[in-house]
């Protein structure tokens, strides 16, 4: 059992204090910090501008929580799914989603998930633990390098829509955003990052209080409590009235409209009456809507909605002034699409 500390758990100031304590100049700490985040180094040997002796000292006192690509599957549409192996042997998944204008990384924040939404493959897994912010960051760093190798350029967007509920791992989620956006990290604009939540009202308000600059998406999927309760247990403690109040609080603090994600299921939430419910909810909160095709998940009763009903649903909202876009699924053939991440290898 090692008692070495994870070097990436140190702040820049803590790293400087450590270097001063061993008689090293502060700028050495800044060099190491750059290696850790901007260059995403995973060993002290990589840190070529440090002396061999200093690298040995760091090796003696610190360690890395290693994340590696266990499997890589490529879809016929160019989507790539990664199974990432963590230092403790647990696995999480991430996805690179290429479109004409974007290269998006979809990343995970927990090993498994505790919310058990009825339609989601990840929800059928037990939640094992939260990811450290360095483990969340590493998924982005790896997928960013993959994007460069595959497409000749880095990521344009990041969505926290993989395994787990980001707001139930709030501290690590937000610290990973800080590292991704900082100049010494990947230096991505916060407006290109979206955090998706099943609806944790307390933490939505916390995002507002913290002045969050990222975009917020709510996995809604039904706009009346009876239906939402039946597919998302979290709604029983965070119902639509509670969520509307939290989202408006968030908006007053950030001036950022929320995106409602609405997976449309055949004969469950695809009628015009359902669209009316959604319209009424949209009028309570500054928002827009992404209507998402359902992707079959083994062991669930849900089916993909008929295309004519999807089109009529979207048209009903748009005709009444709601910005509503239908999102086509990508990576379905490798179980990489929305709701399908479950550590299932092809």
Question: Kind and range of the H or E element at 278?
Answer: helix 272-282
Residue 245: DSSP 8-state:
H
The DSSP line for 87-129 is TTS-EEEEEEEE-SS-EEEE--SEES-SS--TT-SGGGSPP-E
60, 106, 338, 345: the catalytic one is: 338
By three-state DSSP, how is residue 345 classified? coil
Phi-psi map region of 59: left, alpha, beta (phi>0 left; psi -120 to 50 alpha): alpha
93 is catalytic: yes
- Separation CA 184–CA 179 (nearest Å): 8
93, 135, 165, 293: the catalytic one is: 93
- Separation CA 139–CA 95 (nearest Å): 9
Give the residue from 214, 63, 66 showing the smallest Cα distance to 135: 66
104 φ/ψ angles, rounded to the nearest 5 degrees: -115, 135
338 is catalytic: yes
- Separation CA 19–CA 210 (nearest Å): 31
Beta-carbon contacts of residue 223 (< 8 Å; ≥ 6 apart): 240, 274, 277, 278, 280, 281
Catalytic residues: 93, 338
């Amino acid at each position: 059992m090692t008692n070495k500390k994870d070097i990436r758990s140190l702040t820049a100031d803590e790293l400087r204090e450590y270097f001063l304590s061993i008689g090293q100049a502060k700028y050495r700490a800044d060099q190491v910090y750059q290696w850790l985040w901007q260059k995403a180094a995973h060993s002290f040997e990589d840190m070529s501008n440090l002396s061999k002796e200093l690298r040995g000292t760091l090796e003696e006192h610190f360690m890395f929580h290693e994340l590696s690509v266990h499997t890589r599957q490529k879809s016929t549409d160019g989507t790539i799914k990664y199974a990432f192996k963590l230092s403790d042997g647990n696995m999480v998944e991430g996805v690179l989603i290429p479109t004409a204008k974007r290269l998006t990384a979809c990343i995970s924040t927990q090993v498994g998930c505790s919310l058990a939404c009825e339609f989601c493959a990840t929800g059928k897994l037990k939640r094992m633990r939260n990811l450290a912010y360095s483990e969340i960051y590493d998924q982005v760093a790896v997928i960013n390098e993959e994007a460069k190798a595959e497409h000749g350029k880095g990521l344009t967007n990041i969505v926290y829509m993989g395994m787990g509920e980001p707001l139930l791992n709030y501290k690590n989620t937000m610290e990973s955003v800080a590292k991704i956006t900082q100049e010494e990290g990947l230096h991505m604009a916060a407006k290109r990052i979206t955090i998706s939540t099943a609806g944790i009202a307390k933490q939505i308000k916390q995002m507002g209080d913290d002045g969050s600059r990222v975009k917020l998406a709510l996995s809604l999927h039904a706009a009346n409590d009876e239906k939402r309760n039946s597919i998302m247990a979290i709604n029983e403690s965070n119902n639509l009235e509670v969520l509307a109040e939290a989202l408006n609080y968030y908006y007053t603090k950030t001036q950022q409209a929320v995106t409602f994600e609405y997976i449309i299921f055949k004969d469950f939430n695809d009628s015009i009456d359902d669209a009316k419910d959604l319209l009424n909810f949209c009028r309570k909160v500054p928002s827009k809507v992404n209507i998402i095709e359902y992707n079959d998940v083994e062991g669930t009763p849900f089916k993909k909605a008929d295309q004519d009903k999807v089109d009529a649903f979207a048209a009903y909202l748009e005709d009444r002034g709601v910005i509503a876009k239908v999102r086509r699924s990508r990576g379905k053939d490798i179980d990489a699409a929305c709701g399908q991440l479950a550590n299932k290898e092809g």
